[in-house]
Amino acid sequence: MSVQDFNEILDFAVQREEEAVLFYRDLQENVKFADQKKMLKELEAMEMGHIVVIENIRKKGSYLEEVKAVPNLKISEYLVSDVEDLDLSYQNILIKAMKREEASTKLYSEMSIRFHDNEIKSLFRKLAAEEASHKLHFERLYDDWISKDN
């Protein structure tokens, strides 16, 4: 794989992460409670961390590593799929976050299958695992929130 092709793939991944940063930043403008804003800032920081990881790979090169499996509670798979019209209650912010992380996990997983280059496969597997761990984080928050009233 050429350096140019490698950089274009990294540019694609950075663009996806920048979109996620903007998504969480925009949500911060619309929430009413400080706790919600704090959570969204944490989400924004997580996505910014992905950009740092990708840029470090660009600077230092990729290396093959074993990617650990992340448990999937599959909560988001059973929730409403059209999240654009949801209000910004705590529950719905968690749903939006889960759905976004679910979509990113699927995208990066599919990208890891499409490329034959082992470095690129490893990069996308790593990004998919990162997104899956974020999804798991939100699924646990959601599960805890639902469980506390029952």
Look at the block and give the residue holding tokens 């646990």.
140
Q: Report the alpha-carbon distance of residue 17 to residue 20 in Å, rounded.
A: 5
**Closest to 138 measured CA to CA, from 107, 104, 99, 109:** 99
pTM of the model: 0.80
- Note the helical H segments in the chain: 3-30, 34-60, 90-114, 118-148
pLDDT for the residue numbered 136: 93
pLDDT, position 79: 80
What are the backbone dihedrals phi and psi of residue 85, each rounded to the nearest 5 degrees, phi first? -90, 0
- Residue 81, domain extent: 3-148
**Residue 57 CA: distances (Å) to CA of 63, 104, 113, 150:** 8, 19, 19, 45
Q: How far apart are CA 105 and CA 99, in angstroms?
A: 10
Tell me the mean pLDDT per 10 residues along the chain, length 150. Answer: 81 91 87 83 89 85 74 84 75 86 91 85 87 90 80
Find the CATH number of the domain harbouring 70: 1.20.1260.10
Angstrom CA distances, 113 to 62, 116, 124, 144, stand at: 17, 8, 9, 34
Q: What's the rounded Cα separation, in Å, for the pair 124 and 87?
A: 32
Domain count, the chain: 1
Give the pLDDT confidence score for residue 5 in this predicted structure: 81
pLDDT of residue 102: 92
pLDDT at 72: 87
Q: At residue 26, what are phi and psi to the nearest 5 degrees?
A: -65, -40
